[in-house]
Structure 1
Amino acid sequence: MQQKNQVAMNPENTVFDAKRLIGRRYEDEKIQSDLKHWPFKVVNDGEKPKIQVQYKGEVKRFAPEEISSMVLTKMKQTAEAFLGTSVQDAVITVPAYFNDSQRQATKDAGAIAGINVLRIINEPTAAALAYGLDKGLKGERTVLIFDLGGGTFDVSILTIDEGSLFQVKATAGDTHLGGEDFDNRLVNYFSEEFKRK
């Protein structure tokens, strides 16, 4: 909620959607398409996107990995406060469609946050684990995991064995099919309607 209040008062310095930038090149067509929706500035720094903000009167530039590391640092602190002990290791989830570059950039974000990243796993696989789809299983089961989020859409088909062995059979997704994209399309549609009238 704090971010939503911040974006209204200081939009050009409120950063979000680092997941859409991480592990991509500045000239990537998806980044170029997203630029028109972001109130913050994204600049080309050696073919890599950097988020530029004003902080205490200074211009600062952050790589998407640095922004993600800030989120991971906060999550680490929250986990440590809840558990009452330090957290060194973590498994981090990423959208199923993330390529190798995006996965490596996510690992780098974990390292920047001081986390030993044990593994990167697909979000739909994590959902299957979280819902205990492997519990009380007799034989093998094939499941479809459908994840429509705020900014992404993931679908995975998994087979789960009674020994809690997960095997990903197929995966697909879209970085630009989620709640935020629905909002953007509605805004574009209604702005065109108002222009016509």
Structure 2
Amino acid sequence: MKGVAQTFLGLTVGKAVITVPAYFNDSQRQSTKDAAKIAGLEVLHMINEPTTAAIAHVLDERANTDDKMNVLVFERGGGTFDASLLTIDEGGDTHLGSENFDNRMVNLYVQEFKRKHKEDLSGNRKALARLRVHCERAKRIISTAILTTIDIDRLFNGVIFSTKLLAPSLKRLTWTCSRSA
């Protein structure tokens, strides 16, 4: 892509803003940055694709209004169907979408775990990482399925974590936990 850009512009390209799918996790984002570095590019920003679509839309419409705009972006492809709702005002916010959804899922389950078991797993990096991986996987599954389950054996202090998610409303159906024997 660097070569295509240089040919099109007739200039040497050394810096880039890269768009990535909203569902990319931290490892995939880092791999993309590493690939850009190998290609000789300095990555100035990495932006989720739904955010860039909203920005492109707003750039066309912004001249007509000074008000806050709500933009709904549907992204379909690669086995996913994501919807991102962005509110753009003068300041804008480019840190919206999939990662925020993952964070909210993780936070919801951390709080629920604390409420049910009187134990706080938020300080346990391993448990949080396992929970995040399962939340990301569940989010991808419900983009094409009606129902998915998150099951994590011994998430924290021997507790088996299990919950079901229903698409498209993403309402939690059940919450069950038990201690491993």
Please report the TM-score for the alignment, with normalisation by the length of structure 1.
Answer: 0.45
Please report the TM-score for the alignment, with normalisation by the length of structure 2.
Answer: 0.49
